[in-house]
Amino acid sequence: MIKRETIDAIVSACRIEEVVGDFVHLTKRGVNLIGLCPFHDEKTPSFNVSPARGIYKCFGCGEAGNAIRFVMQYEKCTYVEALRYLAKKYGITVEETERTPEAIRQMNEREALMAVSEFAASFFSDNLWKSTEGRNIGLSYFHERGFTDETIMKFRLGYSLSNRTALLDKAVNEGYTADNLEKAGLVLPPRQGEDDRRSDRFYERVMFPIQNFSGRVIAFGGRTLRSGDKKIAKYVNSPETEIYHKSDTLYGIFQARNAIRKADKCLLVEGYADVISMHQAGIENVVASSGTSLTANQVRLIRKLTNNVTVVYDGDAAGIHAAERAVGMMLKEGLDIRIVTLPPEDDPDSFARSHSLQEIEEYIANGERDFLKFRIDRFLQQPDHDDPLKKAAFIRAVAEDLALIPDSITLSVFVRQSSEMLEVSEDVLLSAVNKIRVRRYVEEKQRQSAPAEQEAAEAAEALVPEPSREKPVPDTPAFLTIADVERALLFRLVNYGDRMLVLEQEGEEPRIMRLDEMVFNDLEQDQLELETPLYHKFYNMYKEAFLRQPETVLQQLQYSQDEEVLQLYTALQDVKPAYSSGWKQRKSIIHTIDDQDELLREDLLDVLHNLRLMHLRKMKEECELALKTEQEEEEMLILLSKIRQINEYITIIEKKLGVTYR
Ligand SMILES: [Zn+2]
């Protein structure tokens, strides 16, 4: 038990912004600080920290509390663990009442496994520094590799003795249970046929403790120094345990986290030695993935600290391949990724040991390129890159990567850049990317069960067509063609464009805006354009006039030099209003400025819904037509699924319109 005085000392020393700041990148916002919430997935910050009140609160997910609560939530740890962590951070000596074997048993399992792992780390470290075997074999090996004593201590490197029960015996003697040693992955269960004793997992190896974000030891990697013996695995690692999940862990994150935040950049390498050598060279914002491809959780760990990652992998072909594979997950999570390759004969470890800090920094600064430029440059260096089949395959591969980018502005920049480098038109590349997005979307949908209404709407949004220049769809009811609906829309712009309407959208405050503005917003949302050429032209001129000066839109149109537009303008003024009839039944509450405006608003929504409906029907037509000629089974499935989704969206809109015509 921790003494009351210690708890008081910890509480008064804690500064919430420092505690949270170790895990979350915070920026100043008035008297408070703000950052990305670590408790839910978000891309715009809603996580607030108030230094004055000593608390944090997330306006996205509602998570809130003080410094201790934060550590408990973040590390998923107990109150006692959180206190220990904070005590360590603020250099407060934890005074506790005697820890009896009974008290150790009472600790909950996670705490117990962390405790036994910590004990093992100290034990391995003591072996390295104090035992003859450890000094002669382990320490001299680290020194030969060029690690300084300071570095060895910083990463808490150690040595496991050749005695196969050294850790087990010592730990049990100190009051830890063999069960917990086994659950922490430190001790192997008794093997059948042999004596029924347990034995240590790690023996005769140099030891690399793996620490979590807050520095707790959760696992180990052990490397043998018997290079000749093929029967002995070079590396032995802890298995997955209650406290260690390999896919959630990045080696070196504890030692690197402050440097990453400060540099606003994270270097990613492959192995333990890479991380350690880079640190020793003075580059501290570096972590290792300890595997070839990153997991989503590892990427999120990085994203808590920075959005910028530079992958520093070996200069050989395998390293480059691994670097390219690491990219996918990072793209998906919206990170800015750069890649730098080392000279072919080097890995980050050897490179860091043979160069000065300044040389390494310069090499990275000059050599790093964004992932796409990196890939394309490499492709263009191949002697047969002009081969049409090779090139087409490569462009498809690039499109697969691009389709992962969640942010549309970033995507457009990359599409332009790659289309220039590959000498392929931007449109072609973008349409390939969009196809992949649709395909992935459809696949994702198929994996899930029947989509709910909302998802169907999203599906349709993802499928919103490029504007087509064809004639109205043949099977549309004769009284309603796309041109009819478009004309109806223009009529409303010309006659009622300046009327103020109340716009209500779910989850938003009602806003008052001009009718024409509402139309612009609505069409832009789905990137819908009018497709009858004259109407298209008229609409754009109207919009341009509006952007120049909203008050004089009509005057500007009247002075248009375009005969066609002038004629249409006049004609539209002659048309009688053609309000649809559905609005009366649907309108139950009137919350607009007056009834007249509510009528206008409902009517406008009808027109916009109809326009969408027309486009969807046409898309459906196109899909059905394509289905007739499609031979590939896979493509047919995609088309069928598309049609199903379009139908669902059509139903939603028809429901809104209060009509059904099929
Ligand atoms: Zn949150």
CA of 508 to the centre of ligand 1 (A): 19
CA of 20 to the centre of ligand 1 (A): 13
Q: What is the C-alpha to C-alpha distance for residues 83 and 32, in angstroms, rounded to an integer?
A: 24
CA of 84 to the centre of ligand 1 (A): 25
CA of 561 to the centre of ligand 1 (A): 55
pLDDT digit string (tens) for 401-443? 888 887 777 788 888 888 999 888 888 888 888 778 777 766 7
**CA count, 13 A, side-chain hemisphere, 190:** 8
The angle formed by the CA atoms of residues 146, 152 and 153, to the nearest 5 degrees, is: 155
Q: Is 355 exposed, middle or buried (0-12, 13-18, 19+ CB in 10 A)?
A: middle
Backbone angles phi, psi at 27, to 5 degrees: -125, 155
CA of 41 to the centre of ligand 1 (A): 7
CA of 46 to the centre of ligand 1 (A): 7
pLDDT digit string (tens) for 251-285? 999 999 888 888 889 999 988 999 999 999 999 99
Backbone angles phi, psi at 249, to 5 degrees: -120, 140
User: Which residues touch 51 (CB under 8 Å, ≥6 apart)?
Assistant: 15, 16, 17, 31, 32, 33
CA of 16 to the centre of ligand 1 (A): 17
Extents of the domains making up the chain: 4-89, 101-244, 248-367, 482-657
Q: Are 23 and 213 in contact (CB under 8 A)?
A: yes
- Closest by CA to 287, choosing from 300, 297, 274, is 274
Angle between helices 371-381 and 317-332 (to 10 degrees): 140
CA of 75 to the centre of ligand 1 (A): 15
Give me 585's structure tokens: 């039944």
Q: What is the C-alpha to C-alpha distance for residues 82 and 75, in angstroms, rounded to an integer?
A: 8
CA of 38 to the centre of ligand 1 (A): 7
Q: Which option is the CATH number for 248-367: 3.40.1360.10, 3.40.50.920, 3.20.20.80, 2.40.160.60?
A: 3.40.1360.10
CA of 507 to the centre of ligand 1 (A): 18
CA of 332 to the centre of ligand 1 (A): 20
CA of 308 to the centre of ligand 1 (A): 22
Alpha helices in 174-241 (DSSP H): 178-183
pLDDT for the residue 479:
47
CA of 57 to the centre of ligand 1 (A): 8
CA of 60 to the centre of ligand 1 (A): 5
pTM: 0.56
User: Which residues touch 306 (CB under 8 Å, ≥6 apart)?
Assistant: 25, 260, 261, 263, 264, 265, 266
pLDDT for the residue 608:
87
CA of 64 to the centre of ligand 1 (A): 9
CA of 45 to the centre of ligand 1 (A): 9
pLDDT for the residue 471:
32
DSSP tag of 472: P
CA of 287 to the centre of ligand 1 (A): 26
CA of 23 to the centre of ligand 1 (A): 14
CA of 300 to the centre of ligand 1 (A): 14
Please, what is the end-to-end C-alpha distance for the chain in angstroms? 74
Topology (CATH) of 4-89: DNA Primase; Chain A (3.90.580)
Query: pLDDT below 50 — which residues of the chain?
Result: 449-453, 456-457, 459-479, 575-594, 660-662
pLDDT digit string (tens) for 616-630? 888 888 888 888 777
CA of 47 to the centre of ligand 1 (A): 6
CA of 37 to the centre of ligand 1 (A): 5
pLDDT for the residue 447:
66
Which CATH number applies to 101-244?
A: 3.90.980.10
CA of 297 to the centre of ligand 1 (A): 16
CA of 66 to the centre of ligand 1 (A): 15
CA of 218 to the centre of ligand 1 (A): 26
pLDDT for the residue 468:
34
Residue whose token pair is 């052990």: 222
CA of 249 to the centre of ligand 1 (A): 22
CA of 615 to the centre of ligand 1 (A): 39
CA of 24 to the centre of ligand 1 (A): 12
Q: Are 14 and 25 in contact (CB under 8 A)?
A: no
Which residues line ion ligand 1, judged by CB < 5 Å?
37, 39-40, 58, 60-61
Q: What is the C-alpha to C-alpha distance for residues 202 and 162, in angstroms, rounded to an integer?
A: 9
CA of 415 to the centre of ligand 1 (A): 33
Q: What is the C-alpha to C-alpha distance for residues 502 and 514, in angstroms, rounded to an integer?
A: 9
CA of 36 to the centre of ligand 1 (A): 8
Number of Cβ within 10 Å of residue 516's Cβ equals 22
